[in-house]
Amino acid sequence: MTSHETVLIVDFGSQFTQLLARRVRALAVFCEITTPKDALAEARAKGAKAIILSGGPSSVYDPGAPSVERDILQIGIPVLGVCYGMQFIFKELGGTVAPSNEREYGRAEMRVRGGAGAAGALLEGVAPVSTVWMSHGDKCEKLPAGFKALAQSDSCPFAAAADVKRKIYTVQFHPEVTHTAEGQKILRNFLFRIAGFSGDYTVPDFVESSVAAIRERVGDGAVVMGLSGGVDSSVAAVLIHRAIGRRLHCVFVDNGLLRLGEREQVEKTFAGAFEVDLHTVDASAGFLNKLKGVVDPERKRKIIGGEFIEVFAEAARKFKDARFLGQGTLYPDVIESVSVFGGPTAKIKSHHNVGGLPADLKFELIEPLRMCFKDEVRAIGRAIGLPAEIIERQPFPGPGLAVRCPGVVTAERLDLLRRADAIVTNEIEASGLHRDLWQYFAVLLPVQSVGVMGDGRTYEAVCSLRVVRSDDGMTADWAQLPHALLGKIASRIVNEVRGINRVLLDITSKPPGTIEWE
């Protein structure tokens, strides 16, 4: 494994610490996040080329407020203190930090001292006046000896300040959030101009180091993993497979609630192209049996979740050599980051996870994507050669088509839904419009309507199109597709799927609607 120039991010507990890491990675610089307690030792052990002290919710005056050993400011490595990180530096080096009961939260105007260019390397190229994002309580009021103000805002005399000689830089705002207009430029200046990074850490480097780390951790052991065919578990599986080959045992549960051709695609990609040890369990009869007559959405979800755990556990038990469980957990799934006061604590998705596994099945988790965001996972997926159909796949809920089939879930209804859904997918992808869409699918309603076909009267099912734009699934707008495309989808469904004679368009945004119907 090649070693990379490293920036160490010391996590003082800010909700933005991972975002900071992501911005650093976007500049092709390798970073690691560490706790304040381990910071100095890690900086030395890893030969860090720069240190970033993150923001955090505490006041530097709180009893037990997180701190790092002062030596970290004296070993000559460039340091950037962000928000709490800045206040910590001011307090340690003899400046003044005024306690405050009020938080300043939101956009502020930053004015660079003496106009552009005069503020030195950190703010080089930054507009004389620009928007920054503030979120702080205490405020830095008097500079430590050797420091110079670089910029100010209405409320902060030192929006940015530095001791250039000691290479210690501080900003009161958050350069990592997108509301800070010049944030990425400031991070770039710090890393490239001040700390001298070369910016050569690429996605293939991430793949290489994560494969090496998995190999080292698993040793000659084995890993079992549930594969859903979604992008996260797929990318995680390929990384683990690269590390340990066929000592990775993947289990794919066909719950009978999958989309058209989904199982075949997973088999073709993983067992075929990647030669992964893939075990498909056809459990559809069991799932459908348990769902018989069930209409309540929450009961459906519970039944499906419970059955999944049972089927997966039974399959996993067969791999007696497996001590590890692979998971495609991403950072947004990790509710709490590395905690300031303790070790890493994490909650993981409640579906497809280890949480509900029976007590006799004890695994250690392998989560190669724990630090990653979705767009990074897609880039990794591309680098390791996963096909576009998997990398660009829309999110698909764990309970599958059952939550797109209000009313009872039967093999016949699922078949109708599956065929209508395939037409929606085909047409929207053929139009190219899917690149701007979050999800596009069909929902089969528990309603029959009258129609005419040829000379005859029909009395058949109704389906709805659900097409939304979204950034993260938390909120969504219904997508305004061209009428010609909508018309084509509707006429294809009614003509090609016998059993559906009417197509509706769902024009509800989230909130108040949810994206899925159940």
Rule CB under 6 A: choose which of 81, 175, 398, 406 binds ligand XMP.
398
Q: State the maximum Cα–Cα separation within the chain, in Å, rounded to a whole number.
A: 92
Q: What is the dihedral of CA 262, 421, 498, 298, to 10 degrees?
A: 90
- Told to check if 473 binds ligand XMP by CB under 6 A, we report yes
Q: Please state at what angle helix 411-431 crosses helix 483-496, rounded to 10 degrees.
A: 150
Q: Shortest gap between Cβ of 232 and ligand XMP (angstroms)?
A: 9
Residue 483 falls in the annotated catalytic set: no
- Told to check if 399 binds ligand XMP by CB under 6 A, we report yes
Active-site residue (options: 31, 83, 250, 372): 83
Residue 376 falls in the annotated catalytic set: no
| Residue whose CB is less far from ligand XMP, 95 or 328 | 328
Supply the DSSP string of 397-454, one letter for each residue.
-TTGGGGGS-S---HHHHHHHHHHHHHHHHHHHHHTGGGG-SEEEEEEEEEEEEEEET
**Contact (Cβ atoms closer than 8 angstroms) between residue 7 and residue 31:** yes
Q: Candidates 25-33, 177-185, 204-212, 394-402 — which segment interacts with ligand XMP by CB under 6 A?
A: 394-402
> Of residues 429-448, which lie at the interface with ligand XMP (CB under 6 A)?
439
Q: Give the C-alpha distances (Å, rounded to integers) separating 331 from 113, 335, 336, 346, 369.
A: 37, 8, 9, 10, 7
| Residue whose CB is less far from ligand XMP, 286 or 395 | 395
**Contact (Cβ atoms closer than 8 angstroms) between residue 328 and residue 230:** yes
Rule CB under 6 A: choose which of 13, 183, 328, 397 binds ligand XMP.
397
Active-site residue (options: 176, 182, 427, 460): 176
Q: Candidates 10-18, 93-101, 173-181, 507-515 — which segment interacts with ligand XMP by CB under 6 A?
A: 507-515
Residue 174 falls in the annotated catalytic set: yes
Active-site residue (options: 4, 31, 156, 174): 174
The count of residues interacting with ligand XMP (CB under 6 A) is 11
| Residue whose CB is less far from ligand XMP, 119 or 403 | 403
| Residue whose CB is less far from ligand XMP, 119 or 476 | 476
For tokens 């830095």, the residue is 140
Separation CA 341–CA 343 (nearest Å) = 7
| Residue whose CB is less far from ligand XMP, 113 or 404 | 404
> Of residues 272-301, which lie at the interface with ligand XMP (CB under 6 A)?
none
Angle at 139 between CA 134 and CA 145, to 5 degrees: 120
The tokens for 287 are 């799932």
Separation CA 501–CA 489 (nearest Å) = 13
Rule CB under 6 A: choose which of 57, 128, 387, 395 binds ligand XMP.
395
The tokens for 286 are 């069991």
Which sequence positions are flagged as catalytic?
A: 83, 174, 176
Give residues in contact with ligand XMP (CB under 6 A): 351, 395, 397-399, 439, 473, 510, 514-516
